[in-house]
Amino acid sequence: MTIEEIKDFLKTYDGEEIRLMEVCGSHTEAIAKNGIPAMLSPKIRLLSGPGCPVCVTPSAYIDRLIELAKEPDTVVATFGDLIRVPGSRESLSEAKGSGANVAMVYSPLDVLPLAKEHPETIYIFAAVGFETTTPVYACLLEQLEAEEIENVRLLTALKTMPAVIGYMLENGAKIDGFLAPGHVSVVTGSEIFKPLAEKNNIPFCVAGFQGNELLVALYDLVKNQHQGVVKNDYPAVVTERGNEKANELINHYFEPSDAVWRGIGNVKNSGRLLKGAYQKYDAGSRGLDDDAKINAACICDQVLMGKKKPPECPLFGKVCKPLSPQGACMVSTEGSCFSYFANGRCDK
């Protein structure tokens, strides 16, 4: 089948209504950038699930970061996206404006030269992310150990796939197929989705990030409705079993844990924490489970679960905009609400 035939199929599909979900922030962004919703039949609906690490970080975690950033001789180092996520009272960006010490970096390893140059300052890295980012934190820990650097800690909010998908399916999310995350699958392998596919009798398809790769994966999901299969449409980089070296590195420093997902709740075995002796690098990541809504009308929870679309939120585009996010999904360029707002994910 040619790509033109696939495009035609997706545009003219007239079978039962199908709801497909992506659970990777980069897929959310790529779908918007390629203008894919406008290429699909109205019978195929795309939903954005909990795939943006920033969007699923609970408010208690943000509050703890702010508390640390206000301590003397302490600097919180973070990726840019996180600084605008609302905590229960304020965001890191607002705290920074009133004197909290926050440094934006592009890589966790950027704190190494700072820490070496200023041994009197404690650097806290805001370690959020999925399987894709966790190996980099493990590399940072390796360096800290090797160079005996004592003044760096991690505040972790690490998440893992695919437990949250199972949780959503068990808790009322009606989804007929998943675009499985391309980057995460490089580490985990595609087979990790097999039990969920078989149990729920729905297809999973590991997709790449180019426009045509996404179209092929969407076609496969439509074609394999009601079948518990895992298709790997990103075979150039994703294998069945994943990257064993990265997994070894992760498992050396971290252990599986339950985790709170913003708007969704506590999901068993869906996160990671520093383990054993390495807890000396932990800045207090355990028990950060509170998850306050800053605006009671916010429906980020239902958006993340695929129950509603961002424009159905009464706050969307009115009080909730990228510069004044009321919920976490409006913060990151990978967030569903941001994507709808800024990239014009204007599906009918």
Partner 1 sequence: MTGTITMQHGSGGSATGELIREVFAETFQSEVINQMEDAAVVEGCANIAITTDSFVVTPLIYSGGDIGRLAVCGTVNDLLSRGATPKYLTCGFILEEGTPIATLKTIVRSMAETAREAGVKLVAGDTKVIEGSSRNGDKQSKDGANAINAGGITDGGIYINTAGVGFLTGNFKNNPASAGIISAKNARPGDKIIVTGNLGDHHAALLAARMEIETDIKSDNAPLCEIVEAIRDLEVHTIRDITRGGLATVLKELAETADQTFVIESEKIPVDEKVQDFCGILGLDPLYMGNEGKMAVIVAEKDAEKALANIKKAKYGENAKIIGEVTEPKSEADRGALYEKTAIGGLRSLSVLQGEGLPRIC
Binding residue count for partner 1, defined by CB under 8 A: 42
- Cα–Cα distance measured from residue 300 to residue 308, given in angstroms and rounded to the nearest whole number: 9
From 171, 201, 212, 227, residue interacting with partner 1 (rule: CB under 8 A): 212
User: Cα separation of 300 and 298, whole Å?
Assistant: 6
Q: Output the smallest distance, CB 52 to partner 1, in A.
A: 13
Answer whether 43's CB lies under 8 Å from 16's CB: yes
Q: Which residues contact 269 (CB under 8 A, 6 or more apart)?
A: 160, 163, 256, 257, 258
Q: Which residues have CB under 8 Å from 18's CB, separation 6+?
A: 43, 44, 45, 176, 177, 221, 222, 225
Q: Write down the least CB distance from residue 212 to partner 1, Å.
A: 6
Going by C-beta distance under 8 Å and a sequence separation of 6 or more, which residues neighbour residue 242? 185, 186, 187, 188, 189, 192
Task: Candidates 183-191, 223-231, 254-262, 315-323: pick the segment binding partner 1 (CB under 8 A).
Answer: 315-323
Q: How far is the CB of 57 from partner 1 (least distance, A)?
A: 18
Of 236, 277, 296, 323, the one binding partner 1 by CB under 8 A: 323
Least spacing, CB of residue 337 vs partner 1, in Å: 11
Minimum separation from the CB atom of position 121 to partner 1 (A)? 5
Stretch that binds partner 1, among 247-255, 291-299, 302-310, 339-347 (CB under 8 A): 339-347
Reduced to 3 states, what is the DSSP secondary structure of residue 320? strand
Please give the structure tokens belonging to residue 255.
């252990």
For residues 298 and 232, the answer to whether their CB atoms sit within 8 Å is no
Q: How far is the CB of 68 from partner 1 (least distance, A)?
A: 12
How many other C-beta atoms can be found within 10 angstroms of the C-beta atom of residue 276?
Answer: 8
Contacting partner 1 within 65-94 (CB under 8 A):
75, 77, 84
Instruction: Say if residues 239 and 35 touch (Cβ distance below 8 Å).
Output: no
Does the protein bind partner 1 through residue 153 (CB under 8 A)? no
Restricting to residues 119-148, name those near partner 1 by CB under 8 A: 121, 123
Contacting partner 1 (CB under 8 A), which of 18, 36, 140, 267? 36
Least distance from C-beta 328 to partner 1, angstroms? 15
- For tokens 């426009």, name the residue: 211
Using CB under 8 A as the criterion, which residues of the chain lie in contact with partner 1 when the complex forms? 7, 26, 29, 32-39, 75, 77, 84, 96, 101-106, 110-111, 114, 117-118, 121, 123, 211-212, 215, 321-323, 333, 338, 341-346
